[in-house]
């Protein structure tokens, strides 16, 4: 398999135990020499301090760390303050998102879409940040139509995004088609596939339902049939996701971004299998 750049996504832990576990995860995954790692951000303030703390902890280890930043439910003033904080800490890489409002939170905020956040970051900070945006090979669940979603993606790039990371998928053709269609719209930035390791059937089905990613029937049926047999789920999941990664790498995908869920084992096993 061709060598491919790796990046890893973490979420900010809420407890000391979680922090310790994440440090161990990072230490294990650092051996794979990721290009960068990213840290998610809770819309509406739930994990905002946690994102900064985690990013600073990672940066101390000499690894490039990119905080995610979402605009929904936020004022321009608060976004400006967060950007200033990141800059003052030497952060130069950011993942710009709309985010989702937590249930019960009604205020959309001053910026409605990620394209507006990207434009805002560029207006406020010029070229201070490398900006990543999200892309959806199987389309965002709220999109009016596939075409509309593709155009919304192109708008984010036009507004100043430097590269994109996709929602996870298990059907490589959806990604290849999406990239072709984006290129036809003049999008020329790298579109890095997001990879979800498979370790848990019910969690995977729940996440996929929420974010609009398709778990093909043959994969769902096999996983379901293993019941509580975690070892079989792990082994099958490793086969499926490693094959997907190999296909993507062989087709010159510009990198692989792993949704680690703060666990090293499944991601490390896939990277080892594909020779990363
Ligand atoms: P947008 O690009 O703004 O798109 C959202 C929807 O609006 C789409 O349906 C799009 O078609 C539509 N749209 C866009 N522009 C317009 C317009 N002008 N008019 C009408 N419709 C429009 N969530 C978090 O809360 N925290 C995170 O850290 C986080 N990290 C993520 C990382 C990645 C790589 C990905 C793929 C997703 C992540 N998410 C995160 C989830 C993301 O916030 C949700 O998917 C959210 O619903 C959409 O965010 P977006 O940036 O893609 O939004």
For 28-70, what is each residue's pLDDT tens digit? Answer: 999 999 999 999 998 655 567 899 999 999 999 999 999 999 9
Q: How far is the CA of 104 from the centre of ligand 1 (A)?
A: 19
Residue positions annotated with a catalytic role: 9
Residues with CB under 6 A from ligand 1: 40-43, 68, 70, 95, 97-100, 113-115, 134, 140, 142-143, 148-149, 152, 156, 165, 167, 194
Q: How far is the CA of 27 from the centre of ligand 1 (A)?
A: 30
Structure tokens at 132: 């990543």
In terms of Cα–Cα distance, which of 25, 54, 27, 49 is closest to 38?
54
Q: What is the DSSP letter of 5?
A: -
Q: Give residue 15's pLDDT band: very low, low, confident or very high (50, 70, 90).
A: very high
Q: Which residue has the tokens 């490693």?
A: 242
Check pLDDT > 60 for residue 269: yes
Instruction: Ligand 1 pocket test: pick from 38, 74, 140 the residue with the most ligand atoms within 8 Å of its Cβ.
Output: 140
Q: How far is the CA of 275 from the centre of ligand 1 (A)?
A: 32
Structure tokens at 11: 């979420």
Mean pLDDT, the chain, as a whole number?
95
Instruction: Give the Cα separation of 31 and 226 in Å (integer).
Output: 32
Q: Give residue 107's pLDDT band: very low, low, confident or very high (50, 70, 90).
A: confident
Instruction: Ligand 1 pocket test: pick from 12, 113, 117, 154 the residue with the most ligand atoms within 8 Å of its Cβ.
Output: 113
Instruction: Give the Cα separation of 44 and 107 in Å (integer).
Output: 9
List the CATH code of the domain at 6-274: 3.20.20.220
Check pLDDT > 60 for residue 207: yes
Average pLDDT over residues 150-159: 98
Q: How far is the CA of 223 from the centre of ligand 1 (A)?
A: 29
Instruction: Give the Cα separation of 94 and 261 in Å (integer).
Output: 19
Question: Which pLDDT value is given to residue 48?
Answer: 79
- At residue 247, φ and ψ (nearest 5 deg) are -65, -40
Check pLDDT > 80 for residue 104: no
Q: Give residue 276's pLDDT band: very low, low, confident or very high (50, 70, 90).
A: low
Summary count for the chain: helices (H), strands (E): 10, 8
pTM as predicted: 0.97
């Amino acid at each position: 398999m061709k060598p491919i750049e790796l990046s890893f996504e973490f979420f900010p832990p809420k407890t000391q135990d979680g922090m310790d576990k994440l440090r161990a995860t990072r230490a294990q995954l650092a051996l794979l020499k990721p290009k960068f790692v990213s840290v998610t951000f809770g819309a509406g303030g739930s994990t905002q301090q946690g994102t900064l703390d985690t990013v600073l902890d990672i940066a101390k280890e000499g690894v490039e760390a990119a905080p995610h930043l979402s605009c929904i439910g936020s004022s321009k003033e608060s976004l400006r303050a967060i950007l200033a904080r990141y800059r003052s800490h030497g952060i130069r890489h950011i993942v710009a998102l709309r985010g989702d409002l937590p249930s019960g939170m009604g205020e959309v905020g001053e910026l409605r879409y990620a394209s507006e956040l990207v434009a805002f970051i560029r207006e406020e900070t010029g070229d201070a940040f490398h900006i990543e945006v999200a892309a959806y090979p199987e389309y965002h669940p709220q999109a009016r139509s596939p075409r509309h979603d593709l155009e919304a993606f192109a708008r984010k790039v036009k507004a100043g995004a430097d590269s994109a990371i996709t929602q996870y998928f298990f059907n490589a053709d959806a990604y290849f088609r999406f990239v072709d269609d984006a290129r036809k719209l003049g999008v020329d930035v790298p579109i890095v596939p997001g990879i979800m390791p498979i370790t848990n059937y019910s969690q995977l089905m729940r996440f996929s339902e929420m974010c609009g990613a398709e778990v093909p029937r043959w994969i769902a049926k096999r996983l379901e049939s293993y019941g509580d047999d975690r070892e079989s789920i792990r082994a099958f999941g490793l086969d499926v996701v490693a094959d997907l990664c190999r296909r993507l790498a062989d087709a010159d995908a510009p990198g692989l971004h792993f949704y680690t869920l703060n666990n090293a084992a499944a991601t490390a096993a896939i990277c080892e299998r594909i020779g990363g």
